[in-house]
Amino acid sequence: QVQLVESGGGLAQPGGSLRLSCAASRNVFSVNAWAWYRRAPGKQRELVASINSADGSTNYVDSVKGRFTISKDNAQITVYLHMNSLKPEDTAVYYCNAVGARTHYSGAYSDYWGQGTQVTVSS
């Protein structure tokens, strides 16, 4: 089975930094694109950042531009989210999303989700 394992969440003070990681299980051999989503209590799920595996192009929601950076390691099939200058409104559960993933046992392209990691920004 395919798993995306997230790590790096936790508690940070306003202005602090965290780095989230999301690693695919070994039976995944390619991912077309990665994305990070977040869901705060009582709010809709929000697309935070995305990156294309082939050309490295990125997109960010306006509220995190200049503060967050998405990056990837194609060889390790891993995506990262560096979060700087954190604000209380960044508090949410963050989910990674592998788009167009291929596995060793299927020629089809599928999307997979990480289990979520809690980010809390508070003084």
- pLDDT of 107 over the 90 cut: no
Query: Would you say residue 74 has pLDDT above 90?
Result: no
104 has a pLDDT exceeding 90? no
CA 26 to chain centre: 18
For the segment 70-92, the average pLDDT, to the nearest whole number, is 95
Question: What is the rounded distance in angstroms from the CA atom of residue 5 to the CA atom of residue 113?
Answer: 9
Average pLDDT over residues 24-29: 91
Query: Are the beta carbons of 114 and 99 closer than 8 angstroms?
Result: no
Nearest CA to 73 out of 93, 95, 94, 51 is that of 51
Give the pLDDT score at 1: 84
* Beta carbons of 117 and 93 less than 8 angstroms apart: yes
Q: pLDDT above 90 covers what percent of the chain? A: 85
pLDDT per residue over 44-72, tens digit each?
A: 999 999 999 999 999 999 999 999 999 99
> Roughly how many angstroms between the first and final C-alpha of the chain, as a whole number?
40
Cα angle at 110 between 109 and 116, to 5 degrees? 150
